[in-house]
Each structure stands twice: as structure tokens, then as C-alpha cells.
Chain A
């Protein structure tokens, strides 16, 4: 238990569906992150929120839409995904100014997404 909870743990969706991934942290952190990890590949940083403001968006397709309503919750809204979007989606949180060194991040267990 890392203090970062992701739901659901597994999700199968069709290419025309709309779904949302949820991340919740109870650590009092002020920065939250979304990562994508495809099979046998490193983590790809998708979005970073600091103090509920998006501070990083790594050229992610618009079919992925993040939302950070407060510092404890982070969502990733999904629509019209492609099969190549199937991956493990990981959420993380950290404390302190996101741009400084010395940041320890805590990760959730991830959502295994399969697009059919």
C-alpha cells in the first residue's frame, strides 16, 4: 500500500467507448502524474499536475483527457481509443515543487487497459 489508489485495476473497452481512470492519493502531496507503460517498455510521462494546474503535457493525443479537480484526485478520461493504447496506466504523486530535485514519488498499482 503506497497511499496512491487507482481504479479500476483492469479495464477492457471498445474503440467507441468512453471511460475514465481514477487516481486518489492520501499523502497530502501537491503534484500528480499520469504515465503509460506498454509491454516491455519504459514508462512514458503523459501529464503532470502541480497544485491542480497542468504543468506538463507530453504530446499526448487528444483522445486522452486529464482532469485534476483537487490535489487528491486525478482522472484520465478516455474516448475513441486505439488498440495500440492498450497498456498499463500508472498514477503517481509527490510533494514539493515539481521542478526541483530530490522528489520521491509514490506510485499506484496501475490500471491494465485493453482496447478491443
Chain B
């Protein structure tokens, strides 16, 4: 099992460009998440999908959109990239059992916006 995979691993964009970060999981989990990690800020939740067909905003959704393509795949789109979106992006998945929410993380995408 590959677990959670993310593409690309690295990306450099110019301000105003758009791109989509891809995430897939092979653990048959119902829930998926997108986080961004910035120095000294820990992980901040951008969007999540509790189950196939649903998505909800997290702490820092502005400037992002998501699509839960099917149970395996959850993509994050930057429509018009800004330097403030320079960050490391992590996708995660979990099989929610009541309040128990052990999440499995992908290797991350390192994005630089110039």
C-alpha cells in the first residue's frame, strides 16, 4: 500500500498563476484533509472532506478551492497564486470512528510563489 500520495513534490509559481495539487489515498478512508505548514505556525487546516461528496472549510480557506473527485482523491486548487501561499502543503486521510480521528499524512508539496 502506498498510503497517501501527493503530486507534485515541488512547484514554483509566479503570482497570479493557477495550479492544482493532487492527493490520493489507497486505505479506503472516508475523510480527507488539506493542511498548510508554515514555520512557527504548526499545521493549519485549509479544507476537509468528511465523506465523498462533501467538503467544508477549515481555518484558512481563503484563496483555495477543493474537489473530492471520488473516495480516493481530493485535490486542492489555487486559482490565482499569491506569495502568501508559499508553504508546504500536506494531504491527510482518516477513517472517522466517532471522535477518534487518527490521520495519515502524505509526503507534502513544497510550493513557492514568486
Q: Do A and B come from one complex?
A: no
